[in-house]
Chain A
């Protein structure tokens, strides 16, 4: 078995061609797909995430690494039995009802996926009912909500209420974010945490689930 160094380096560099070739190579030389995922891909993304939070690399570079990881996942996925991939956690994410802004949400989603979370994106204008419905369907660890407009923030409160009504609230952690959202508001609506940007969203998500 060759080591996974070439793979991690190509993910860090965002070299999709080399990374997918290295992934295939790793499979052919006897690596366990879960090991390739954990040590090769997520390991690389952890390093990327660290460089990013230290201000050493830019977002497009981080996203390129995330995209590289996604391409490698396409190579690995057929090798996993259904339901066998262990991810850091399942996350439902959406921009709340009445709000159509999604750049921030998309960034958070990409970065969390890069960190090893499995993302379920409800898109924009996602009603409390949609959040509940998806939660009932996939039993997430985290429900994450985004809003850009002050006037749509009440939808966050309503979604938490809907989760309570459906007896789901106690089974998930709720994270919120977006330009007008504050730590204080998170406490007010009894969300589990607030993250001010995509980078800290990953750190906070790991924190509330108690994982590394």
Chain B
């Protein structure tokens, strides 16, 4: 009999149909063509005017749709991030997805005391090492703005610290053309030169325009720098519903996408074919506390919609978020909100998914949260990988054996179970399934405590392949150079 061979369907969440996607895109184009935007970088302003934009007073521009089409056509549909040793690590294309941490938190939860305190440079090192040691965390970000480094070069110090403590890809922040050039220099040190970095980039810049429709000079400096050097970049403005954008999600998406398209157009004019990771951040402003929510269903919904728009229209890999919470401690709310965004971002196939491990709407970072999220991602992966159907998994022979095998014959004892159980099941590590008494004897721990211990274990024991001495010395020289 011919063996059963059925490709495994992998569940995929869809939240927008084509008609809706086109409507939002049309609205975005209309915003650019009829309302316009403020471009404060003189070079970018000139580039846009030369390309066909209309000036309507000072630095206010209107952009014709054909410029958007041209930019979408020339931007690469696949962005590959490499690790710091030149290995292909994150091919951002289609439905490939990768999770990583976040940046710019002011506080962190102390691993020893559990106290919320200001971030210091050592924390950046710890988060990088933890990311390096966690299987389902593909890239690292700073997880904080340390208070013990000079603020003028804060992002350079933070980047260097991440380089020292992980070999995974890095998504980094910079302030302007000035410090991004230093970060670039450090990155070239790591791989051996500019050409090597262009060929095998291990870094991606995260910059933001200001909603609504405001493009500051320092932000455009970074965009143009990355376009010229071929460094991957994303430019998601904070077009949060009720904050920088209208309260209704369709309008917030249209505005955020419009802003993103301005960035894309400038980017492709400055460096045709350079990699641009697409997408705005469309969360919502909480209407009581005025925080931009990191645990809300709105953000998960708008990025799922963006993924559908990618598939229908844009074709470019997209930026997204997951694994964060508005809770101030790692409690049930933190678990619930983190899982909500992790599973939905995975089901909608967002590509580069950041902010894993944040509490307090992004203001506090937590090693325990990252550790928990690592397992939640694995659990979600099991679900989204679907149910393989073939002769082995239908297990008819095993069923016949066990049923016909007399008293004492159980599936647990059968060879089929022994051969398949590790792939057939999701195997939890930190999620506890013990019976009550052993759980009690082991110390009645909750998930936060177990994640705390696991984070400590990884930080103490995970070996990060060190960089060569010359590289480290080169980095020190650049930092001292001032």
In contact, B288 and A103 (Cβ under 8 angstroms): no
Which residues of A have CB within 8 Å of B104?
150, 180
Which residues of B have CB within 8 Å of A60?
242, 287
CA distance A158 to B222 in the complex (A): 26
Asked whether B154 is an interface residue with its Cβ less than 8 Å from the other chain, the reply is yes
Residue in B145, B151, B243, B287 whose beta carbon sits within 8 Å of that of A103 in the complex = B243
Asked whether B152 is an interface residue with its Cβ less than 8 Å from the other chain, the reply is yes
B451–chain A nearest beta-carbon distance, Å: 26
CB-contacts of A47-81 with B (<8 A): 52, 55, 58-60
B110–chain A nearest beta-carbon distance, Å: 16
Which residues of B have CB within 8 Å of A160?
none
Majority DSSP secondary structure for residues of B touching A: loop
In contact, B290 and A107 (Cβ under 8 angstroms): yes
Shortest Cβ distance from B152 into A: residue: A151
In contact, B287 and A151 (Cβ under 8 angstroms): no
Provide a sorted-by-A list of 9 A–B residue pairs whose CB atoms are within 8 angstroms.
Answer: A52-B288, A60-B242, A101-B210, A103-B243, A150-B104, A151-B152, A154-B151, A179-B106, A184-B118
In contact, B290 and A150 (Cβ under 8 angstroms): no
Knowing A100-B214, A100-B216, A151-B175, the reply to whether A59 touches B288 (Cβ < 8 A) is yes
In contact, B151 and A150 (Cβ under 8 angstroms): yes
- Chain A, 113-157, contact with B by CB distance < 8 Å: what is the 0/1 string? 000000000000000000000000000000000000111011000
Q: Taking A100-B216, A184-B118 as given, write out 5 further A-B residue pairs in contact, using a Cβ cutoff of 8 Å, ordered by the A residue number.
A: A58-B287, A180-B104, A182-B106, A197-B289, A198-B290
Shortest Cβ distance from B107 into A: residue: A182
Which residues of A have CB within 8 Å of B242?
60
Residue in A104, A151, A153, A154 whose beta carbon sits within 8 Å of that of B290 in the complex = A104
CA distance A184 to B147 in the complex (A): 11
Knowing A101-B210, A151-B152, A180-B145, the reply to whether A59 touches B287 (Cβ < 8 A) is yes
Knowing A101-B210, A150-B104, A184-B118, the reply to whether A179 touches B363 (Cβ < 8 A) is yes
Shortest Cβ distance from B240 into A: residue: A103
Shortest Cβ distance from A154 into B: residue: B151
- Chain A, 148-177, contact with B by CB distance < 8 Å: what is the 0/1 string? 011101100000000000000000000000
- Chain B, 229-253, contact with A by CB distance < 8 Å: what is the 0/1 string? 0000000000000111000000000
Which residues of A have CB within 8 Å of B288?
52, 55, 58-59
**What are the nearest 4 A-B pairs in CB distance?**
A58-B287, A150-B145, A151-B175, A59-B287
- Chain B, 138-164, contact with A by CB distance < 8 Å: what is the 0/1 string? 000000010000011010000000000
In contact, B244 and A103 (Cβ under 8 angstroms): yes
CA distance A149 to B207 in the complex (A): 12
In contact, B118 and A182 (Cβ under 8 angstroms): yes
- Chain A, 187-211, contact with B by CB distance < 8 Å: what is the 0/1 string? 0000000000110000000000000
In contact, B210 and A197 (Cβ under 8 angstroms): no
CB-contacts of B35-65 with A (<8 A): none
In contact, B106 and A197 (Cβ under 8 angstroms): no
- Chain B, 204-217, contact with A by CB distance < 8 Å: what is the 0/1 string? 00000010001010
CA distance A58 to B288 in the complex (A): 5
CA distance A90 to B152 in the complex (A): 33
Tally of contact residues, B, Cβ under 8 A = 19
- Chain B, 337-379, contact with A by CB distance < 8 Å: what is the 0/1 string? 0000000000000000000000000010000000000000000
B314–chain A nearest beta-carbon distance, Å: 28
CA distance A151 to B210 in the complex (A): 16
Which residues of A have CB within 8 Å of B118?
182, 184
CA distance A198 to B289 in the complex (A): 9
Which residues of B have CB within 8 Å of A151?
151-152, 154, 175
CA distance A59 to B290 in the complex (A): 8
B298–chain A nearest beta-carbon distance, Å: 15
CB-contacts of B391-412 with A (<8 A): none
Which residues of A have CB within 8 Å of B287?
58-60
Which residues of B have CB within 8 Å of A55?
288
A179–chain B nearest beta-carbon distance, Å: 7
CA distance A151 to B214 in the complex (A): 19
Knowing A103-B243, A180-B106, A182-B118, the reply to whether A197 touches B175 (Cβ < 8 A) is no
CA distance A151 to B151 in the complex (A): 6
In contact, A150 and B216 (Cβ under 8 angstroms): no
CA distance A55 to B288 in the complex (A): 7
B41–chain A nearest beta-carbon distance, Å: 13
Which residues of B have CB within 8 Å of A103?
243-244
Shortest Cβ distance from B38 into A: residue: A100
B111–chain A nearest beta-carbon distance, Å: 21
B118–chain A nearest beta-carbon distance, Å: 7
B248–chain A nearest beta-carbon distance, Å: 13
Most chain-B CB neighbours within 10 Å: which of A52, A101, A107, A197? A101
A98–chain B nearest beta-carbon distance, Å: 8
B212–chain A nearest beta-carbon distance, Å: 10
Which residues of B have CB within 8 Å of A101?
210
